[in-house]
Structure 1
Amino acid sequence: MKIIKTFCLLASFIVSTWVQAGGNDEVWRQALTGEHRTPAYVQRDVYRHPQATLEFFAITPRSTVVEIWPGGGWYTEILAPLLKDQGLLYAAHFNIDSRVAYFRNSRSAFDSKLKANPTVYGKVVTTDLMPPQHVVIAPAASADAVLTFRNVHNWMKSGKADAVFAAMYQALKPGGVLGVVEHRAKPGTTEQAMIASGYVTEAKVKALAQQAGFEFVASSEINANPKDSANHSEGVWTLPPSLRLGDEQKAHYLAIGESDRMTLKFTKPK
């Protein structure tokens, strides 16, 4: 009798796992290919590898995630539908009453985007991140993961990198994941050159994270681009999608594609 009961329990577990895996596949498919996605954003998937990147950061449909400075919502378009039924997404954006017009306008456009499609974005919780006044990006120790995409150079420029990494540490559960994607500078690049170019060394990102208390776990070459020399007249903004030089050598920069990027995973110690 015990053998039969054990077999039934095992069979039930296998079926449940199989069903959930299939369900997760469908959730991923809808998040990546749904009609809510901006066509121009979809074209960047070839450079940004969203599913592989998020899976490297251990994101599942059940995760509680904080996305840092989501900008126009490129990753929000994927994370929001992925998490809306079983997980939770916090979008830690600029504060709407910032004295900087760019920050106010970016936040306003993001808020409008969310309000325009409540089916996809209705459960997104928007918070403010602008040190030193605004640093509570989610309830303390509540997030399974905090993710930042191509933001570290901005925090270095404003002198707020330490405060942001501390805020991310505070929001994470013990054992939670900090995922960082950033434009990658060559080893030995000076800090001044990093700020000017938008490219940051892996050593600098690791130092900032470890200073905040994080432990380095692993790196991935998911978002590497060996065509990118990381040496351009207008820094990383020379390349798409910015193409700051306009038509000047446009074909050349389009052929390079988006920047070479590090993909680093850290954890908050248990």
Structure 2
Amino acid sequence: MLDEVHADLPANPYDENTYILGRICSHNVVVACLPTGIIGPMPAATVATQMLSTFPSIRFTLMVGIGGGVPSQADIRLGDVVVAKPTRDHGGVVRYDYPKTVKECTIKRTIMLSKPPRVLLTALSKLQATHILTGPRIHSFLCEIESKYPLLASTLRHQGQDSLVNPNYHSRPPSARIYRTFNTHRPLNSPNRHRERNTPHIHYGLIASGNQVVKDSKIRDHLAKESGILCFEMEAAGLLDTFPCLVIRGISDYADANKNDVWQGYAAATAAAYAKELLSVIPRQQVEDAPLAGGNLSV
């Protein structure tokens, strides 16, 4: 999604991260990823802390990646984008404890994770208003990347069948589960499952962050019902207590027994495309006037 890639800088011996430097619209950006196979809030916090140590002029961060969507009246689909939007009651992200049983499902309401900085909230409002009139530009950004990097074409395209696991699947006896496994891949019969186009939709609301993957529809639904959660992920809780950050997640699964990696590339791409569009509506001067991201951080 970079409009321009910059040359690497000399490595910081105290920083274990690997970075890609570049420009998106008028903004210089630093891109870092978690190490392969390592997930969770603590690794995310470590990456961000080292990043701010190496690049102390950073103003804010965008946490862009994938998440597990919650089927609901919001009609969230695979490939859609969920953006953490704060309200009077929360900062857009809450923490959850993954339970051993459904009865133990809890949301940590007492832990108030910080809201995104004002410069991002202002851009969020502007982009929402723009999308009402003209729609998002995600598809056009994906087409640009596909044209520039043809080898990514299969990853950047909609992955076809969008299937939901019937939530009653886990209530069947084991023998029935084995015999009817094929039924877990059948889309639920819902009149709202049809869309005229496969263009990703943008959803704004509450994201839940924890230290374990949710892949059980009953636990997912119990946690979501309690607080109106739109999606689950595993890294945001490590950043939002300390770093000025906005969380953007592409939906790669439904946090259920059908969880797999088929949609992960496309979901990551749609989230990155939204992040690019968000940056496009932020004037450069507003970024320069914003406080440093590490201003209250000892690194």
- TM-score > 0.5, shorter chain as reference: no
Greater share of residues in helix: 1
Higher relative contact order (CA 8 A, sep 6+): 2
Instruction: Compute the TM-score of the two structures, normalised by the length of structure 2.
Output: 0.26
